[in-house]
Amino acid sequence: VKERVGHWWTGGCCRSARTKVVLNNLCMTFATGELTALVGTSGSGKTSLLDVISGRSTGVTTGVVSYEGQQCTRKMMRQKSSYVLQADRLLPTLTVRETLTYMAYLKLPGHFKPSDIDRKVQTVITDMGLNHVAENRIGGAVVRGVSGGEKRRITIGVQLLKDPDILLLDEPTSGLDAFTAHHLVQSLADLAHKGKLVIMSIHQPRSDIFRLLDKIAILTIGQLAFLGRPDQMVPYFTSVGYPCPVNQNPCDVYIDLTSVDRRTPDQEIKTLKRAKKLCAAFTNNEIYTELLKRITFGFSQYDSEETQGTVERASRSPSYPRTFNCLLNRMNIHVWRNRGDCLGRFIFLPFFIPFIIMFLGRLGLNQESIQDRLGVIYQASQVPPYMGIVNGVALYPALRDLFYREYQDGLYSTLTFLGVYYVHCLPFNIISSLIFSGILYWSVGLNPDLVSFGCFILVIVMLSQIGEMVTVSIMGVFRNIQLASNATTLIFSASGVVASGLLRTIENMPTVLQWASYIALHKYSTEILVGNEFHGLKFTCPEQAAEQCLMKGDMFINTYYPHALEHMTRNFIILGGYSTAVFILAFIVMKIRGIPTLH
């Protein structure tokens, strides 16, 4: 297996991508009813091997992975296997039962009734020993919930919902205390002995865990140094000149023996030479010879003409409406129970109202009020996108990380996830925009026409929604949250300065910026708000300055925004197009960047 090295943008037309070999010349077999442990130091290839078996490897793979005589494909392994990642990606606001129930609605076939799903969830809860915490929330860094060991069991339980033939686990004991790790591996051994094929990677198993294993594979430098039963390990290594010292854990001894020490160049050369020697010795041993015979015999048990290209058709997947509704309900419950984030969605935008009112007060109809009204319009067009950034940065990353895991499990598509998030955001943005507009509009005394008020609300809603979806798009480019936030803020700041015409008229700007304003959001939102506010207004004028006065709002529009009224419908359509365009942009960005390989 060769994997790319470097950033996602490497490998373009000007520079080829670097690759490295992470697995080399591996020949292994695993049996149903056995718990197999892949052991070795960090970088030995354990996780890469699990990725290859599961069909998730992003590298260039040569060779064959087969199951029951059929060559494994990604689609087949999604049907037959489940993969438990190293990190627990769970929503902290949901209970254990809710977490498993929502996942059951996403995983189980469409013909499953709610009563069937409830029974399946209860079975998994019982099998994983979670009855005592079934109604407890998962919890997170701020609000404590279930323990680390229980989170591991929940993560494993999620993958057991579809009753897979093969269960793959990447470092399931990572971060657990010795007692919890032992009982978790005991549960996996019991599961394997019920007829499952269970393969797990583990960094360095203790002696009590060592005794629970049915088979052990030691990996080093991407190659196989040993594969066999635990009771074969000591005799084998003794036969090649490395006996196990008395009263020591054989697994610890032989993992250290096969490790590469990279602290100094001399040690690296010495230990690398030893590791290669051990790998070569194993391929010449009778254990490996018997392994090859079993693999050859296993292939001969299946008639190639009958099995070629035949993959058992999976049960019908959940319907799209059920998947969409399940994701939307889960997302809404997650935000609703997170009181701080939920409250923030409603009050972040209205929070600016007191400052605008204190600064501008009640608007009159004198000449000075023209500038004040422009100030209100500027704030009304600038604040909503920024609040969209705040909401997106606060809420989207956790949902995105959960999507990455569920996408790799084949549960739903990128388009479905973004569609659910768009629909989820919309009611919150509508409500916060109604509060913001209703208080601000009538408090400062903007155009009292009800149609104008409705147009004002609609613009604020669109700006809020666009602001959040642009943030989602930028977070697809920059997965670093702070960098994405800064980039999005810069985009909206530039748009407001260049295209609004409130700080400097567009006609007086350089030609390049005039053209750039046509792709900026604030050109169209500002034209709507200016035309909406000034149309039909009449202003008072001091007698001594009558010739310099703007007696009517339409005079101001004709002078500074000459096409605002006739382009009102066009500008609303363009804002709607922006909302659709940023949604499509988010989808394209996520498809180009791809889904990161999670562990």
Contact status, residue 143 vs residue 352, Cβ threshold 8 Å: no
Residues in Cβ contact with 55 at an 8 Å cutoff, skipping those fewer than 6 apart: 65, 72, 73, 74, 75, 76, 77, 78
What pLDDT is stored for residue 311 in this prediction? 45
What is the pTM for the complete model shown? 0.86
pLDDT in tens, 550-568: 888 899 898 889 888 999 9
What integer best gives the mean pLDDT of the chain?
A: 88
Q: How confident is the model at residue 18 (pLDDT cuts 50, 70, 90)?
A: low
User: How far is CA 498 from its chain centroid?
Assistant: 34
- CB 395, CB 420: distance < 8 Å: no
Instruction: Give the relative orientation of helices 339-347 and 368-408 as an angle to the nearest 10 degrees.
Output: 150
Number of helices (H), then strands (E), in the chain: 23, 10
Contact of 579 with 462, CB cutoff 8 Å: yes
The amino acid that residue 105 corresponds to is: Y
pLDDT in the model for residue 306: 46
pLDDT, tens digit, for every residue of 301-331?
654 444 444 444 445 678 999 999 999 999 9
| 467 in Cβ contact with 583 (< 8 Å) | no
Q: For the chain, give percent helix, strand, coil, nearest 5.
A: 60, 10, 30
Predicted confidence at residue 57, as pLDDT, reads 81
**Is pLDDT larger for residue 303 or for residue 586?**
586
Task: Kindly report the backbone phi and psi dihedral angles of residue 114, in degrees, each rounded to the nearest multiple of 5, phi listed first.
Answer: -55, -40
CATH of domain 2-87+167-307: 3.40.50.300
Give the angle 431-436-442 at the CA atoms, nearest 5°. 125
The total number of residues written for the chain in this structure: 599
Name the CA dihedral angle for 274, 275, 277, 282, rounded to a multiple of 10 degrees. 140
Q: Are 107 and 323 in contact (CB under 8 A)?
A: no
- Whether 372 shows a pLDDT value over 70: the answer reads yes
Average confidence (pLDDT) over 231-246: 91
Residue 367: per-residue pLDDT: 84
Using pLDDT thresholds of 50, 70 and 90, give the confidence band for residue 531.
very high
- Give the percent of the chain with pLDDT over 70: 92
Lowest mean pLDDT among 5-9, 120-124, 592-596: 5-9
* pLDDT tens by residue, 402-434: 999 999 888 999 999 999 999 999 999 999 999
Distance from C-alpha of 351 to C-alpha of 210, rounded to nearest angstrom: 59
- Domain limits, the chain: 2-87+167-307, 320-593
Calculate what percentage of the chain has a pLDDT beyond 90. 51
**pLDDT 10s digits, 442-493:** 999 999 999 999 999 999 999 999 999 999 999 999 888 999 999 999 999 9
- Band (pLDDT 50/70/90 cuts) for residue 56 is confident
pLDDT score recorded for residue 167 = 95
**Digit-coded pLDDT (tens) for 67-111:** 887 888 888 888 899 999 988 889 999 999 999 999 999 999 888
pLDDT digits (tens, 9 = 90+) for 117-175: 999 999 999 989 999 999 999 988 777 889 988 999 999 999 999 899 999 999 998 88
207-217 pLDDT, tens digit each: 889 999 999 99
- 1: pLDDT strictly greater than 70: no
Q: Which residues pair with 21 in a beta bridge?
A: 2
Per-residue pLDDT tens digits for 434-448: 999 999 999 999 999
Structure tokens, 444:
């400062």
Question: What's residue 3's pLDDT?
Answer: 61
Is the distance from CB of 83 to CB of 54 less than 8 angstroms? yes
pLDDT for 312 equals: 45
